[in-house]
Amino acid sequence: MARSKKKTVTGISYEEFDTATFNHLALYRAMEELVKVANKTVQMPILQTVRIQVAKMEAKLSVTDLDVSVECFIPNVEGFLDVRVNASKLKILLEPDDKAVAARGRMLLSVEDNQPGRAEHIKYLKINVDGLATMIEVVNEDDAPVIPEVSADECLPLYFGPTFYERLKWLMKAASCDETRYNLNGIVIQPSKGRMAATDGHRLHMVEGFDLQRACEIDKQDDDVIMSNGMLEVLLRAMKKYKTFSLSISKKQINDVSGKMFLITTGDEYMQWRIMARELEGQFPEIDQVIPDASNCSIAIEVNSQLLKKALVRFRKLYGKQSANSTLVEIMKSEESVKLSAHGDLTEDPNDVAIIDIPAERLKGEDKKLKIGFNREYALDAFDFKGANEELMIRLEDNLSPIRISPAEDCVAVVMPVRID
């Protein structure tokens, strides 16, 4: 028999073990997104769970991996409920046989006490769907992490242009995934300078010119904020799915959370989302010291981006990604072309080399002859995105200097050279 212990959710008291009625498809679609956060941490089982709270005709589903916290609000949910269960198991059990039927159907969730004959006290969430009743074990709430409360009133909004989604995807290509370089595992946002950047130490992507609102509350000495890769992945999924969203940065430290917080709100009439993440700690490299000054580069070349892409992709097909560092650009005295060459495993066949000539216009440095080595995949990432210019500007100083690539008016990429023996 269930205990009669009172709890409170959003100010309403109710019996601890109660019920809630959801739209089947709405709950399943919410869980499809939530498991992408809850499943990322396998070392801590408590982080693989979702908390379901129902009160005042609204359901709140929340997950966290300690980096990113996501809350989903679903309207028109009857009942009162507060329970935590494994997110993956719940999503599997909710998967509908027919989504059209699920969109019209209602389903009942209820919490029940342990089954007869079991000595230990165990609670279960009973899921009534598609004519079947399935029970999964309820997870103890005691060890669950607390999700920070971030109010929009405590945040400064950032405003972006219509190209933000494509630019954000481009920036993420340069972000590091090396956990030993934690401060590079994301993108830096510099509101006062109206720019964002990412680097993994071998290349850098920067976008500038966005209307990033900067308020006087942000101290000039603490201007840079770094958004983690995890938060970026959630943000991109939200932007792809919903037409509108808002992104804000907290003005100050929230409660005991270290650093500022990012807050994203998005959704539609069927469900609303709040996504929160603290800024990454650490110092981001000085961007201006990494990007070569265009006026100081002694060589400038203009090349068609689609021709260059075809050449680099052709090298990839010939030799695979494992030979990405072996692409050379030979800049001859000719003002009409650049010569690209790539090779396979030279230890097996020293003559295994492919060469492609690409039409190009030498705008500067006609009297120089250079051979430059660079990572083929990094160079391809630098200009292969939606909205890139048809003509690509490449600038450099010598064969050991960083290569500056300008794929669009608001974008700058830097690819570090590879030493040629």
Domain boundary pick from 255, 286, 317: 286
Same domain, 277 and 306: no
Residues 320 and 385 in one domain: yes
Element (H, E) at 347: none
pLDDT in tens, 47-71: 999 999 999 999 999 999 888 999 9
**Are residues 74 and 111 located together in one domain of the fold?**
yes
Are 86 and 168 in the same domain? no
- Strands laid side by side in the 272-278 sheet: 81-86, 49-55, 58-64, 68-75, 272-278, 261-267, 245-250, 155-158
Residues spanned by the domain of 22? 6-137
The mean pLDDT value of the chain amounts to: 81
Residue 254 has a pLDDT of 56
Determine, yes or no, domain membership for 144. no
The rounded percent of the chain whose pLDDT value lies above 70 is 80
- Does residue 146 lie in a domain region? no
Classify residue 147: in a domain, yes or no.
no
Q: What is the CATH number of the domain that holds 325?
A: 3.10.150.10
Least confident of 35-44, 75-84, 300-309, 405-414: 35-44
**Whether 54 contacts 259, CB under 8 Å:** no
Q: Is residue 81 part of a domain?
A: yes
Where does the pLDDT of residue 353 fall: very low under 50, low under 70, confident under 90, or very high at 90 and above?
Answer: confident
User: Dihedral, CA atoms, 341, 346, 351, 355, nearest 10 degrees?
Assistant: -10
State whether residue 330 is helix, strand or coil. Answer: strand
Pair (295, 348) in one structural domain: yes
What confidence category does residue 219 fall into, taking pLDDT thresholds of 50, 70 and 90?
A: very low
The answer on 79 and 66 residing in a single domain is yes
Q: Once rounded to an integer, what is the mean pLDDT over residues 121-144?
A: 84
Q: What is the pLDDT of residue 113?
A: 77
171 and 133 in a common domain: no
Q: Are residues 16 and 129 in the same domain?
A: yes
Residue 143 located in a structural domain:
no
Count of domains observed in the chain: 3
